[in-house]
Amino acid sequence: MSSAEGSIFQLEQDEELRIEVDCPKNEVVTVELRTGMAEIFGTEMVPNNQYRFHTGAKIAIFTFQGCTIVVRGKMDIQPYTSKETPMIMYLNAHAALEDMRKAAENDTANQKENGNRGPVVMVVGPSDVGKSTLCRLLANYAVRMGRRPISVDLDVGQGAISVPGSIGAILIERPASIEEGFSQNAPLVYHYGHKTPGHNSPLYNRLVSRMADVVRERLSANKKSEASGVIINTCGWVRGEGYNQIKHTAQAFEVDVIIVLDQERVYNDLVRDMPSFVKVIWLPKSGGVVERSTEQRQIARDQRVKQYFYGPTGNLFPHSFEVRFSELKEKIYKIGAPALPDSCMPLGMKSEDNQTKLVAVQLTTRDLLNHVVSVSFASATEDLIMTNIAGFICITDVNMDEQKVTILSPQPRPLPDTLLLLSDIQYVDSS
Ligand code: ATP
Ligand code: MN
């Protein structure tokens, strides 16, 4: 039903309203909960609040009890309601994880190995099946039960925690904001430098192992988190080497549960390949998940970087300043020398070693312009690859004549006294 003040949707219990926001670029679509109760990807809506969404957002408003929703704004694609959702199955998966958390709490007295650690769950599946959405849902339901899980994002293509080209982990202390996602308080981030995990598989696997070790340390330092466990989001690469990376991740994090979305082949392969104490479960994808083109993924990546510097709502004001080449000398590196066939490697070295080697970056326009650069916590090169990073800067101009660069940075000058890692990810700052 439509009225002058927006479209009104009446949802029955267990129904969802799907909205693909395609309004003009500088406009927003708002949604409001008028009566009843509803949630968006596991975060409860506050009645009569106007939630604002920009073009490109794809959301589902789900209700267990029934509700009335008002949608306002210009849209070509009309929102629609659906009763066919896997939400009850997702809720059951959450309930099973919750049982494991209760068991972990009660095991504290027994001192079993890993007995007091809650479930480490990994969500896998091909592209566009709702992996990130399910992780968000599970984390939201856990935190709403008073849990404090750690959320790990290994999808270097999108980088929901920090920016693309990195992997990250955060402690979840409150439900995600409907408009801005989970709060990014002190994330643990490692630099990878590429947008696909296959670009440098040895490095990717090493960083995943490192992340797993540090997450384990953090769990054992916090009883509440330990019983809450870990929720791991992965990228959609499930074939060939991608499948090997999944197995490596499972082993590194000592996962207890793997949820496979949509693809039965991956499910069957994992049932065969995982040790019997790993529960592998299959869940269907939601019909509401919208596929994204390569172009839309690129736009999403750019938006992620922009958000890092300018804030989710343009609420941050980054600094821009010049830095002389001399200040960057012996300070900026990248990981991985160009691949050589094994036959060309020095005796006793494998090409894999080359891929996890530090290489000093050439100070040229071609190598630097518009590149995102990680600011490490490390100040010695031998620690650089395996040390987490403090944040990012972007090189927005290179002046070869005057031998200096312009840098976009969340912090004012000077550059911190630590080392920098160049990423393949490029961002053109037009703000
Ligand atoms: P990728 O392979 O890119 O990592 P993914 O498997 O993680 O994708 P999501 O990012 O979770 O998939 O979902 C893709 C898009 O579909 C997102 O924009 C998400 O908000 C949207 N979406 C997920 N579930 C629904 C739903 N039930 N109704 C409408 N939109 C949805
Ligand atoms: Mn995803």
- Structural domain boundaries in the chain: 2-84, 87-283, 318-426
Residue 297 — φ and ψ, nearest 5°?
-65, -40
CATH superfamily of 318-426: Pre-mRNA cleavage complex subunit Clp1, C-terminal domain (2.40.30.330)
Q: How far is the CA of 36 from the centre of ligand 1 (A)?
A: 25
The pLDDT of residue 340 is above 70: no
The pLDDT of residue 388 is above 60: yes
Output the average pLDDT for the chain.
93
Instruction: Quote the CA–CA distance of 132 and 130 in Å, as a whole number.
Output: 6
The pLDDT of residue 170 is above 90: yes
Please, which pLDDT band fits residue 342 given cuts at 50, 70 and 90?
A: low
The pLDDT of residue 112 is above 70: no
Is the distance from the beta carbon of residue 101 to the nearest atom of ligand 1 less than 6 Å? no
pLDDT, position 4: 53
> Mean pLDDT throughout 164-168?
97
Is the distance from the beta carbon of residue 155 to the nearest atom of ligand 1 less than 6 Å? yes
pLDDT, position 354: 87
Hey, what are 335's tokens?
Answer: 């990981």
Instruction: Quote the CA–CA distance of 262 and 266 in Å, as a whole number.
Output: 9
- Which atom from ligand 1 is nearest to the alpha carbon of 62? 27
CA angle, 31 as apex, 29 and 36 as ends, to 5°? 170
pLDDT, position 345: 65
Is the distance from the beta carbon of residue 354 to the nearest atom of ligand 1 less than 6 Å? no
The pLDDT of residue 106 is above 60: yes
> Mean pLDDT throughout 25-43?
96
pLDDT, position 26: 87
> Mean pLDDT throughout 128-142?
97
33 Ramachandran zone, left/alpha/beta (phi>0; psi -120 to 50): beta
- Show Cβ contacts of residue 202 under 8 Å, excluding neighbours closer than 6 positions: 352, 355, 356
Q: How far is the CA of 162 from the centre of ligand 1 (A)?
A: 19
pLDDT, position 160: 82
What is the bridge-based pairing of β-strands 257-261 and 279-283?
parallel
Is the distance from the beta carbon of residue 39 to the nearest atom of ligand 1 less than 6 Å? no
The pLDDT of residue 109 is above 60: no
Q: How far is the CA of 235 from the centre of ligand 2 (A)?
A: 6
Percentage with pLDDT > 70 across the chain: 94
Instruction: Quote the CA–CA distance of 47 and 201 in Å, as a whole number.
Output: 47
Is the distance from the beta carbon of residue 129 to the nearest atom of ligand 1 less than 6 Å? yes
Q: How far is the CA of 127 from the centre of ligand 1 (A)?
A: 9
pTM for the model: 0.95
pLDDT, position 431: 74
- Dump pLDDT digits (tens) for 272-313: 999 999 999 999 999 999 899 999 899 999 999 999 999 988
* Mutation to probe ligand 1, out of 290, 293, 296, 304 (largest number of atoms < 8 A from CB): 290
> Mean pLDDT throughout 252-262?
98
The pLDDT of residue 210 is above 90: yes
> Mean pLDDT throughout 53-72?
96
The pLDDT of residue 205 is above 90: yes
pLDDT, position 430: 86
| Structure-model confidence comparison of residues 115 and 25, the more confident one | 25
Q: How far is the CA of 303 from the centre of ligand 2 (A)?
A: 15
Q: Which of 67-76, 289-298, 346-355 has the lowest mean pLDDT?
A: 346-355
Q: How far is the CA of 415 from the centre of ligand 2 (A)?
A: 33
Please, which pLDDT band fits residue 64 given cuts at 50, 70 and 90?
A: very high
Task: Judge whether 19 and 37 are in contact, CB under 8 Å.
Answer: no
Instruction: Quote the CA–CA distance of 286 and 270 in Å, as a whole number.
Output: 22
Which residues have C-beta under 5 Å from ligand 2, the single-atom ion? 131-132
Q: Where are the alpha helices (DSSP H) in 75-148?
A: 87-106, 131-144
Instruction: Quote the CA–CA distance of 269 and 272 in Å, as a whole number.
Output: 5
> Mean pLDDT throughout 219-232?
96
> Mean pLDDT throughout 386-398?
97
> Mean pLDDT throughout 354-369?
94
pLDDT, position 287: 96
Q: How far is the CA of 234 from the centre of ligand 2 (A)?
A: 7
Of the candidates 130, 185, 178, 143, which has an alpha carbon nearest to the alpha carbon of residue 162?
A: 185
| Structure-model confidence comparison of residues 383 and 337, the more confident one | 383
Instruction: Quote the CA–CA distance of 74 and 264 in Å, as a whole number.
Output: 39
Ligand at shortest distance from the CA of 237: 1
* Mutation to probe ligand 1, out of 132, 152, 239, 262 (largest number of atoms < 8 A from CB): 132
Euclidean distance between the first and final Cα of the chain, in Å?
40
pLDDT, position 346: 66
Which fold does the domain 2-84 belong to in CATH?
A: Jelly Rolls (2.60.120)
Please, which pLDDT band fits residue 351 given cuts at 50, 70 and 90?
A: low
> Mean pLDDT throughout 398-412?
97
Instruction: Quote the CA–CA distance of 339 and 349 in Å, as a whole number.
Output: 12
Ligand at shortest distance from the CA of 124: 1
Ligand at shortest distance from the CA of 160: 2
Q: How far is the CA of 128 from the centre of ligand 1 (A)?
A: 6
Ligand at shortest distance from the CA of 136: 1
87-283 under CATH 3.20.19.10, yes or no: no
| Structure-model confidence comparison of residues 183 and 404, the more confident one | 404
